[in-house]
Amino acid sequence: MISERLAELRRMMQREGWDAVVVPGSDPHSSEYLPARWQQRQFISGFTGSYGTVVITPTHAGLWTDTRYFIQFDKELGGTEYVLHKLRVPDAVQPWEWLGKELPQGGVVCIDGSCMSVAEVDSYRQAIEPKGGSLDNRPDFIDELWPDRPGTPDDPIWVLDDQYTGRSAADKLAWLRGCMKERGCDAMLVNSLDEVAWLLNIRSADIDFTPVVIAYLLVEKGKATLFTNPLKVASADVRQHLDAVGCVVKPYWQIAESLRSLPFATHLWVDGGTLNEALYECALEGLKEKVTNLPSPIRLEKGIKNDVELNGFRRAYLKDGIVQTKLFKWLEESLAAGVRLTEMDVADKQIELRRAQGEYVEESFAPISAWGENAALPHYEPTHDVCSEVHAKGLFLLDSGGHYLHGSTDITRTIPLGPLTDLEREDYTLVLKGMIGLATAVFPRGTRGANIDVLARIPLWKTLRNFGHGTGHGTGHVLCVHEGPQDLRQNVYDQAMLPGMVTSDEPGLYREGMHGVRHENVILCRELEKNEFGDWLGFETLTCTYIDPSPVVVELLTQEERDWLNAYNEFVYIRLLPWLDEDEKRWLQGKTYKI
């Protein structure tokens, strides 16, 4: 099937005079997780990871992705024509850089500018111009190869009440208009789906695990226009909510014409880091130099959580602590009783337990439920058709999360299911040391994520071990479980850690064909104190699920690390007691003993 699609695409390339085709890995809104309509990368390659770009030439088919998916590439595309190009490794070559070397003189590269940001397209343009190359922007060129391509979703919009958001849509719009005024702009095009949803306090089910609305929002001085599928705005409550903030609804596909027809005197603000090239060109047609390309202020405003949101996160992690206590007790006792379970049985049981907690919306991402060597795949996703049986030995890794009305969770626990090797115990302990090192960090205001990422890696580096993914990401409030602007990784991003930011702390270690370990808590950046040396910040741990001390090699922990682990498990035990029955209390007490 994949080879046939490649052959058909190459015939199309020959007909159109294209020397290369870029198949993007995103949608018109620069989203990480995609609706079925914009799964072009998976359609043309069969690769199911959430990150990557495909470039096709007459003689080469390449997939560019990062360290999370190297092993997955071998499993999914091994034996095919596709070649892996590794990103986020030393001396990595970006796809545009590769084209800059491989494209023939005067070559033409086809792109789908409706699914590539302005910044990304600029990178390709600059790389191929020295060779006299050019870009042919053909939005939705994949339609010719994909006759049954899905349409845009029409799931209904619902309103997330102010009791959960802590801030009204009217207040947020007033704040944004103030930002526009400071920049001398009359209008702003909000392109990112989570920014649209956050600004209007609306949600939907357009993307699995991500309760956003497929829409654009054009904010002007006296009105706002939501461009989405009109079928989604069927509820009287939603219409009333939008009317109250002066927001009208127009069909999704009318955004291009609306940009072209803006009054010539309009000064329009766009974020070229996320806005797609096709719409940017529409705006330039009518407004010329009156288009201001600057980062959206919404990203940072959304990333600093208010007190209502933070209390919602705390409630969500309390619920997940209850859920995972019940889950791991059930798993342990089921295996001891000889019950045969698969990785998906565990994932399904967890969803059942989350639903029972109330105010549950959906999972926040596809669960990574991995036993044994499957846990060596950082983004392993079992399905009911393809998954492994779980056995009472070795390590089991569960990375999952849930959206509740009041907050979202993301948590990983690696637990022993039976006898462990010395190497498994050592890896378990070293990764735990890294997680504790970051959780206990104290740093001056102005510190970037890259400045403290090393704290989670030092225990591994000292033993010549490492992990290839980032250490932490921002977490959205009933939105995208991965959000910025902060990041904890070795790459340097010019964003300081700030009070109110909610970020994951998840170092790991993966041994292909053997086992994987990841410990993840979510941490809140908080002010500590001020003195003559500066303003000092640190972290509060929000996650409320025990960390099993039984695999720990105690001699590898410092006294400070032992004290932290003992205090954390005691906190979890006391916090969960009112919500557990007597049998569950005894079981949890046995999992939170002091070492």
What residues does each domain of the chain span?
A: 2-144, 158-302, 304-591
CA separation for the pair 546, 416 (Å, rounded): 13
Closest among 333, 367, 343, 327 to 576, alpha carbons compared: 327
How would you label 397-423 residue by residue, b for 16+ Cβ within 10 Å and e otherwise? bbbbbbbbbbbbbbbbbbbbbeebeee
Question: What is the dihedral angle through the alpha carbons of 307, 309, 311, 313, rounded to the nearest 10 degrees?
Answer: -140
SS3 for 35-90, per residue?
Answer: CHHHCHHHHHHCCCCCCCEEEECCCCEEEEECHHHHHHHHHHHCCCCCEEEECCCC
In a 3-state reduction of DSSP, which class is residue 520? strand
Say if strands 20-23 and 108-111 run parallel, antiparallel, or are unpaired: parallel
Place of tokens 């596909």: 253
Which backbone phi and psi does 341 adopt, to 5 degrees?
Answer: -130, 145
CA separation for the pair 5, 52 (Å, rounded): 18
Longest dimension (CA), the chain: 75
With a cut of 50, list the residues of the chain below it in pLDDT.
Answer: none
Closest among 16, 22, 42 to 100, alpha carbons compared: 22
Which backbone phi and psi does 466 adopt, to 5 degrees?
Answer: -165, 170
Number of Cβ within a 10 Å radius of residue 137: 16
How many Å separate Cα 260 from the centre of its chain?
32
How many Å separate Cα 566 from the centre of its chain?
31
Q: Supply the pLDDT for residue 491.
A: 83
Closest among 446, 444, 491 to 472, alpha carbons compared: 491
Angstrom CA distances, 109 to 19, 124, 140, stand at 6, 9, 15
CA separation for the pair 167, 245 (Å, rounded): 13
Does this model's pTM top 0.85? My answer is: yes
Q: Supply the pLDDT for residue 71.
A: 82
2-144 with 158-302: one CATH topology?
A: yes
Q: What is the CATH number of domain 158-302?
A: 3.40.350.10
Q: Supply the pLDDT for residue 289.
A: 85
In a 3-state reduction of DSSP, which class is residue 408? strand
| 474, 198 contact by CB (below 8 A) | no
Angstrom CA distances, 64 to 95, 102, 448, 450, stand at 7, 15, 27, 23
CA separation for the pair 188, 41 (Å, rounded): 30
* Domain spanning 2-144: CATH 3.40.350.10: yes
Q: Supply the pLDDT for residue 519.
A: 98
Q: Supply the pLDDT for residue 86.
A: 93
CA separation for the pair 37, 214 (Å, rounded): 11
HSE value, Cβ hemisphere, 13 Å, CA-based, for 190: 28
304-591 folds as Creatine Amidinohydrolase (3.90.230)
